[in-house]
């Protein structure tokens, strides 16, 4: 798994900040490594606290593997690249990062080929993983329609053309189970999903602290309009229509108080006067912002948050079908995770500085796609993709998917370089292979 090109390419794909900005900030690869360690820790913890799992333990290695693989389907330029490819692929089943992950590990990677199959497109069999491992990355048990309206957003699920793979996974992992009224999501997949949320909510905000985009004092005095949007989004995730901007601040106060000099009554649900008292004191403000500015304190805060959130992951055993047992995050922890996630998204990822970079990435992806499907565009593909394109002759959907697979596998830097070869005046060399 870690020896395949798709895994290595994650080092060149954006997490929050573009990779060329600094080698400190996380990319998709380092994010996946962190998710893997958290997922393994969750599995070990649940095995240790639940009597049923003590006798029938979760396999931490499957959780570990699922976490390593969970993001390899993401295209260059993060979610903007995903939106660009989805818009280009609307007539042929769309594009979605999780669906592409399943496609890569079950078909596209070149570790195994099907015996007796000679069509170059159909003979690919991916990484030769077990069905239980394949199931651990199947986050959404929903088939993405073949065609959708032009204004549809990205649909989470698996491609309609990969339905046979999903059917095989379900039959192998849960034989005899009727999924007409039951969603398929294994316990290992749920653990990976929880670990991803924990990593996203903690490590991404650490990166924004390091980048100087945010500090604790900025968070506690952030624009009310943004806090209101965050509160609405968090409320949807936790099932509460009463979650407000004050509750957003209360979550951060509760997390920060472990690292601030003693302040009376600094606790969840504190009113505005507490915030004013904290920020009116230069000493307290300096102590708060040291969480962002002091490297030791910043990493300690992240470590504390990760440990706190792992402790909030619980399990509800289904003794009839243990592989589909429910993993969930208890309410208080879920509220904290979702608050950090949505605040970071609104305050950083939606900021104009990051948005400019993402807008450029979306345009690059669309222009490359257009060129490759234009007259003689197949000649611009690497030799192995040209062969796959030719193998799909007479099937427009198959040929378009080959182009999509090629672009989806690009790193940010490679996409920019490929685009430059097509459109820029920089005089890119013809001697560097595609």
Backbone torsions φ then ψ of 286, nearest 5 degrees = -65, -40
**Residue 348 DSSP code:** I
Backbone torsions φ then ψ of 187, nearest 5 degrees = -60, -35
Q: Are 371 and 88 in contact (CB under 8 A)?
A: no
Beta carbons within 10 angstroms of residue 327's beta carbon: 22
Backbone torsions φ then ψ of 143, nearest 5 degrees = -80, 125
What is the secondary structure of 165-234 as a DSSP string?
Answer: HHHHHHHHHSTT---SSS----HHHHHHHHHHHHHHHHHHHHHHHHHTS--HHHHHT--HHHHHHHHHHH
What pLDDT score does 359 carry?
76
Q: Are 14 and 207 in contact (CB under 8 A)?
A: no
pTM of the entire structure? 0.89
What does the domain layout of the chain look like in residue ranges? Answer: 5-188+351-421, 214-313
Q: Are 194 and 333 in contact (CB under 8 A)?
A: no
What pLDDT score does 271 carry?
54
Q: How far apart are CA 207 and CA 26, in angstroms?
A: 7
CATH superfamily placement of domain 5-188+351-421: Hypothetical protein af1432 (1.10.3210.10)
pLDDT in tens, the chain (434 residues): 788 889 999 999 878 776 666 677 889 999 999 999 999 999 999 999 999 999 999 999 999 999 999 999 999 998 889 999 999 999 998 999 999 999 999 999 887 777 766 677 777 778 989 999 999 999 999 999 888 877 788 899 999 989 999 999 999 999 999 888 889 999 999 999 999 999 999 999 999 999 888 999 899 889 999 999 999 999 999 999 999 999 999 999 888 876 554 444 445 455 555 556 555 554 555 578 888 998 888 998 999 999 999 999 999 999 999 999 999 999 999 999 999 999 999 988 776 666 676 678 899 999 999 999 998 899 999 998 999 999 889 999 999 999 999 999 999 999 999 999 888 776 566 667 76
């Amino acid at each position: 798994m870690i020896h395949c090109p798709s895994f290595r390419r994650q080092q060149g794909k954006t997490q929050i900040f573009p990779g060329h900005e600094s080698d400190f900030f996380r990319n998709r690869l380092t994010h996946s490594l962190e998710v893997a360690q958290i997922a393994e820790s969750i599995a070990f913890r649940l095995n240790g606290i639940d009597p049923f799992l003590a006798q029938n333990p979760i396999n931490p290695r499957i959780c570990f593997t699922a976490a390593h693989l969970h993001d390899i389907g993401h295209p260059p330029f993060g979610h903007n690249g995903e939106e660009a490819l989805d818009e280009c692929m609307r007539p042929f089943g769309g594009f979605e990062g999780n669906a592409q992950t399943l496609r890569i590990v079950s078909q596209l990677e070149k570790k195994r080929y099907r015996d007796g199959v000679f069509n170059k497109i159909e003979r690919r069999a991916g990484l030769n993983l077990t069905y239980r491992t394949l199931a651990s990355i199947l986050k959404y048990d929903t088939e993405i329609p073949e065609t959708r309206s032009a204004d549809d957003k990205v649909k989470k699920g698996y491609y309609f053309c990969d339905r046979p793979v999903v059917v095989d996974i379900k039959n192998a992992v849960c034989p005899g189970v009727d999924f007409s009224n039951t969603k398929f999501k294994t316990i290992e997949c749920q653990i990976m999903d929880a670990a991803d949320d924990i990593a996203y909510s903690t490590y991404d905000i650490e990166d924004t602290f390091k980048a100087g985009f945010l500090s604790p004092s900025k968070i506690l005095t952030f624009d009310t309009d943004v806090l209101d949007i965050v509160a609405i989004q968090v409320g949807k995730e936790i099932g509460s229509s009463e979650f407000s901007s004050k509750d957003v601040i209360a979550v951060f106060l509760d997390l920060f108080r472990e690292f601030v000099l003693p302040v009376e009554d600094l606790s969840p649900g504190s009113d505005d006067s507490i915030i004013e008292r904290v920020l009116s004191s230069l000493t307290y403000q300096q102590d708060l912002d040291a969480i962002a500015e002091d490297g030791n304190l910043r990493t300690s805060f992240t470590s504390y948050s990760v440990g706190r959130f792992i402790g909030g992951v619980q399990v509800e055993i289904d003794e009839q079908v243990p592989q589909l047992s429910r993993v969930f995050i208890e309410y208080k922890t879920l509220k904290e995770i979702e608050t950090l996630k949505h605040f970071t998204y609104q305050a950083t990822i939606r900021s104009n500085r990051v948005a400019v970079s993402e807008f450029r990435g979306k345009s690059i992806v669309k222009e490359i796609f257009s060129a490759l499907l234009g007259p003689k565009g197949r000649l611009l593909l690497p030799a192995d993709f040209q062969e796959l394109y030719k193998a799909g002759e007479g099937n427009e959907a198959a040929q378009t998917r080959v182009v999509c697979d090629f672009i989806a596998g690009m790193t940010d830097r490679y996409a920019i370089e490929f685009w430059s070869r097509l459109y820029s005046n920089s005089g890119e060399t013809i001697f560097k292979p595609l």
